[in-house]
Structure 1
């Protein structure tokens, strides 16, 4: 029995009878049957011959091991069937009605199917491109904080107009295939948000992180918790948006703690990975018993809590004294008198334009905007002559008399100067690489400048206050030097009150581990002291320290000195301000505006807008079935 089967196989492989009825086909089949190549299993692989087209067969797959494919029915046979006898058997059995057709017929049929296949591939390719374009447009809308309906109502018509004029109507019809409906854009933003969230969660699982947290309300009076994290990734310290959660009822410390804890657990994280928390000074955040920071410390005793430096600096700037506050109140009343009345605003603007002034409008002072007071005072001082003339024209003797009072003008100039210095300090405390060490140095430097300015004012030197020193030459002897000296002393006392423990000398070893002054750092374990001694004696690392930024240097020694690396990085991760949360609340105001007050996917919009993790659009497109717009 087995000998019969083996003999039958040998006959089919080597001695197959010719299939087609033409002599050329017979000769080619005999020659082709002998053509084979050896693969790794030492099996014969049959190759395709052009004469097989007369039997309605072409080939597909790997050229080294082709597979016969029937042009008529689309059936694929095994490579072993690449012999005329087997191909003819299939042809006569299933397509006997085509036995009279010539080779030219099958060539035309093959060309027709090739064109259809190319058209199908083009259709699928257009669909995939349209889907990717839909994601990119959705990402752009989220970053620009625009409504989802703009894509369908504005972007699509504009694209069609531009493309039809520049590339023709055919290209415009292709543009129409991009799905940009309101619901589609919403789904795209949700997909990208989840993808970015997944990437960030995976990064945080491998690193410690510090967090800044703040809460505020939106236009519908709903309370939102905003959070950002700072962590180590790709050999550097990075900052990123973490979450924006709505508080359904109260905004107590326990509520904030519960929501963030649930979110951390959902993402496979815990408070044990958190090394620092920066918040504002609200009781719900820093309360000693039930404040958010206190509740976190119960979960992780080593976490460091920081009161935002910016909030403390603003509290310092509010100490003015009665006489200085009266000047600020007068300025606020003047600005409100003009800005709140459209007629006065237009008339004052026309007056400034006629006098060729660079600025023609006043600025409003807002308590929640930290830098507004300095800008308001500077603008009023810049336009003091125009304001005096305008108030004289409308017969407002009280306001016009203020600008005729030399002492009042000197106080105004001093306030504009000192708030300019405070604004400069405020801006310097904001930035992606700002941490406790750099912020503490800047606050200490400002405290020493206050002491220096006080001494110079006592000696009659006012060069550090340029606007005030410019008035001194006009008015003669400065009449408010004692008042200024007292205000500078008050500022210095307030600085010491709100920044009681700014000494960071114990962290000097982080700034420069190779300095002789840092040879014996405090609060080190034995293992940390041993690693620190080895590090100080490593001359290669000493050269690297001069070439790399501080954070990258400490991250680069993780493998050699893990203990000292962890201690240093945990210090550098600490936030000193919550400025990123404040920026995010400004973004939230734009996203959830009066026209979009029913928006539900606030967090997804925020994440796509401000997250530094770009969504993996290629991967998202592969997981979705591409569909063109109808």
Structure 2
């Protein structure tokens, strides 16, 4: 029976259809065992239950165990933060996804919490009802939830009926955060009309080629014949706005091949490809979106905290000032494609206007980045310059003692930040509690984005009716199923 559960777990982790056990995995294993070990070994494998329904039941059992075990961990931790987002799947159903970050023994962990199909409109009230019901079912309270990260949708942020407002009514002390990735994308969307026009025209060119398979193949063939480094364009999608960086770079690199191709094809705005000033603007867009893409990539990933993410935003804002100064002095070294483009010098005013707009938008969407210095003591508690003025007297006293604790100083160089502060909790409980609470906050809804990608892959056209929560939990949870515990009270039955 354990083997059957392990097989089902593997299928869920690989996001495969349940039927693959009976149609591919077990037959393949029997062939290999028969060849390598003999017919008796192959016959023994036939005893492993592997039908479609069996695999589904195994996954459901493991999902239930993971959910129960995680609830126990959250109750034991006593505090956690939440990231939550909603999207629509391939069947048109709205799915609400949540991930959680919590203290588990000597470190901070983060994992999938739930995926619930929304039965009615995705209003803030409905999102709260679904989440609140889940909390009640798993003996969780809103007072345990110290932080909440969402996108900026009205259903989340509405003053009266928004999800955040409903949560604050339950826990007035909760800290809420608008996803940093989402804010960066909003910043990037604002640009002068001259650049907006070039961007829209470039996107139309790319989508004309990529949305027509025959045109796409012919274009690839032409690029190969002309010796281009790349032989295809990247399809632009509005869903992930900052994908434009790579799209524009590829278009700029292939502009000559596309101009040649457009001679016999109705590529929209094809005359622009021969316009050097238009190409200079395209080069700048490719460069600046490349930089924005790079920032976006740095902000993504697991275990990112609000302090390190804010530092990265501040660093980019500092680079914007540097680029503005360089542009005023006639240098465009920070924009390699632009600096090599003919006519780029004549477009300097357009570039300068856009950099100023970006600077203003970053200040608008990230108005309190300088406040992060108040938490420098978390990132380096042994730095004497780190301010502790906004801490309570008890916390300041503990911080003063900690700064001269040579044993902990050695640990600080050896341990990740969360583990260091948890290791300090017994001797310095107040300051450690404060530090951990800050590190618990999610800066982005990145894990929800990952889960949506997994959901889309699993719930494709051929499996659009699949109920995804159990499969998603086994696939994505960092809490492993306790298979021996699940099997203990059950009697193994052979099924086919």
Report TM bin, short chain: over 0.9
Please report how far the alpha carbon of residue 537 of structure 1 lies from its aligned counterpart in structure 2 after TM superposition: 3.5
Is it true that 1:347 corresponds to 2:218 in the alignment? yes
In structure 1, what is the equivalent of residue 491 of structure 2? 625
In structure 1, what is the equivalent of residue 438 of structure 2? 571
Please report how far the alpha carbon of residue 346 of structure 1 lies from its aligned counterpart in structure 2 after TM superposition: 2.1
In structure 2, what is the equivalent of residue 44 of structure 1? none
Give the distance between the partners of 1:156 and 1:498, measured in 2 at CA.
Answer: 54
Kept in 1, the 8 Å contact 2:80–2:440? The answer is: yes
Give the distance between the partners of 2:409 and 2:12, measured in 1 at CA.
Answer: 46
Q: Given the alignment, which residue of 536, 540, 552 partners 2:403?
A: 536
Listed as ranges, the matches of 1:172-251 within 5 Å are 172-207=42-77, 208-251=79-122
Please report how far the alpha carbon of residue 443 of structure 1 lies from its aligned counterpart in structure 2 after TM superposition: 0.8
In structure 1, what is the equivalent of residue 159 of structure 2? 288
Listed as ranges, the matches of 1:384-395 within 5 Å are 384-394=255-265
Give the distance between the partners of 2:99 and 2:157, measured in 1 at CA.
Answer: 18
Give the distance between the partners of 1:347 and 1:584, measured in 2 at CA.
Answer: 36
Structure 1 length normalisation: TM-score?
0.76
Question: Structure 1 runs of 4+ off > 4 angstroms?
Answer: none
Please report how far the alpha carbon of residue 485 of structure 1 lies from its aligned counterpart in structure 2 after TM superposition: 0.5
Please report how far the alpha carbon of residue 355 of structure 1 lies from its aligned counterpart in structure 2 after TM superposition: 2.6
In structure 1, what is the equivalent of residue 360 of structure 2? 493
In structure 2, what is the equivalent of residue 383 of structure 1? 254
Please report how far the alpha carbon of residue 565 of structure 1 lies from its aligned counterpart in structure 2 after TM superposition: 1.1
Q: Given the alignment, which residue of 27, 32, 38 partners 1:157?
A: 27
Q: Given the alignment, which residue of 448, 458, 471 partners 1:605?
A: 471
Please report how far the alpha carbon of residue 519 of structure 1 lies from its aligned counterpart in structure 2 after TM superposition: 5.2
In structure 2, what is the equivalent of residue 514 of structure 1? 382
Give the distance between the partners of 1:347 and 1:284, measured in 2 at CA.
Answer: 45
Kept in 1, the 8 Å contact 2:125–2:163? The answer is: yes
Is it true that 1:333 corresponds to 2:204 in the alignment? yes
Structure 2 length normalisation: TM-score?
0.96
Please report how far the alpha carbon of residue 303 of structure 1 lies from its aligned counterpart in structure 2 after TM superposition: 0.9
Please report how far the alpha carbon of residue 501 of structure 1 lies from its aligned counterpart in structure 2 after TM superposition: 1.5
Kept in 1, the 8 Å contact 2:280–2:344? The answer is: no
In structure 2, what is the equivalent of residue 112 of structure 1? none
Match of 1:478, SS state, is: helix
Please report how far the alpha carbon of residue 546 of structure 1 lies from its aligned counterpart in structure 2 after TM superposition: 2.9
Please report how far the alpha carbon of residue 205 of structure 1 lies from its aligned counterpart in structure 2 after TM superposition: 1.1
Give the distance between the partners of 1:520 and 1:607, measured in 2 at CA.
Answer: 41
Kept in 2, the 8 Å contact 1:388–1:399? The answer is: no
Give the number of the structure whose alpha-carbon radius of gyration is greater. Answer: 1
Kept in 2, the 8 Å contact 1:195–1:616? The answer is: yes
In structure 2, what is the equivalent of residue 468 of structure 1? 338
Kept in 2, the 8 Å contact 1:509–1:521? The answer is: no
> Which runs of no fewer than 5 residues in structure 2 stay unpaired?
none
Of 618-627 and 427-436, the range deviating more from structure 2: 618-627
**Cα 1:357/1:165, change in 2 over 3 Å:** farther
Is it true that 1:357 corresponds to 2:235 in the alignment? no
In structure 2, what is the equivalent of residue 47 of structure 1? none
Kept in 2, the 8 Å contact 1:377–1:415? The answer is: yes
Would you say how many aligned residue pairs link Structure 1 and Structure 2? 494
Q: Which has the higher contact order (CA 8 A, sep 6+)?
A: 2
Give me the CA root mean square deviation. Answer: 1.7
Kept in 1, the 8 Å contact 2:277–2:343? The answer is: no
Kept in 2, the 8 Å contact 1:176–1:629? The answer is: no
Is it true that 1:274 corresponds to 2:140 in the alignment? no
Match of 1:480, SS state, is: helix
Please report how far the alpha carbon of residue 187 of structure 1 lies from its aligned counterpart in structure 2 after TM superposition: 0.5
Q: Given the alignment, which residue of 264, 281, 292 partners 1:422?
A: 292
- Offset from partner CA, 1:206-226 (integer Å, 9 cap, x none): 221111010111112111111
- Offset from partner CA, 1:135-179 (integer Å, 9 cap, x none): 111111111111111211222222223332333322222221111
Give the distance between the partners of 1:382 and 1:465, measured in 2 at CA.
Answer: 14
Give the distance between the partners of 1:260 and 1:253, measured in 2 at CA.
Answer: 11
